[in-house]
Structure 1
Amino acid sequence: MSQANSVFKEKSVVIVLALCVFTFGLYVIFRLWQLTKIFNSKTESYISKAFTTTAISIYLVSLLGLIYYFLFPAPVALLITAKLLHLLSAIFHIVWIIKVRNRINRINNVSKGNALWLGPFLSSFFHVIYFQHKINQSIGSEAADKLAI
């Protein structure tokens, strides 16, 4: 049986999707940070603060560089630098998403083939939206198990 009820809160997947879109991805970073904070307080498998701070910083510097380039006259070198930082940021976020996915699977005590298992393909493309969907499923399955007992 998973521990999702004691660790996570149910949220609307539609609202999570809307926040991801309307904040231009900033909610993705915020939600990954939230989940990391939860894991670091509830499990022994920490995601380091240095890693998360670096990932967030690189993302923000890249985003600010792109915004500045398109709003003000700026040299092309700024655009190239911002794009390279964005590539580095993407690598950090892939690693971060994998770390979060593995910890959710561990907290839910599931393995490949289980209905609550977070697969790598959907985690890669839908990350926090898919995570929230599976968290909600896990919480719902626990409630159903309690009713059955």
Structure 2
Amino acid sequence: MRWWIAGCSLVFAIGTALQNFVVIDAELVARAASIAGTPVSDGFLTGLRLVGDVYLVGNLLGLLALTGRAWVFWLVLAVNATQAAGVFAIPPSVWRATLDLYGWVGLLPSVVTDGGALVLTLVLISRRYRTRSRRRRTDRRRTASRSAPG
């Protein structure tokens, strides 16, 4: 599981870097604002890239899953759960502008990172609860066998 998490984190880091530094640019922001009928605000591109940088660092920290430390599990879960919400957090005008400027290829980094983050989040949650319920069953069996007359 550690290798799978680290591999996903690497793929998501690459996708986030592509999204942040190749797809998102001043032209895309201007086109999205035009589609939405709103003016382009100063600093929006910088703010958008800062958010992307945070996710890039978060995904790169996911490579530490190979260490097996518990805090990495929770970090990876938090980063991916919030990154999965990107599909819903990104306004439709940005998707339309991306499609207009870059075609379906421009959507790939976001689809892979956000969609993949959703899948990884669901796997991590299910794995966590499955492991906990197995431990409880094992603990009950051990307790029952100790208290059985022998």
TM tier, smaller? 0.3 to 0.5
Higher RCO (CA-CA < 8 Å; seq separation 6+): 1
With the length of structure 1 as denominator, give the TM-score of the two structures: 0.41
With the length of structure 2 as denominator, give the TM-score of the two structures: 0.41
* Rg larger for: 2
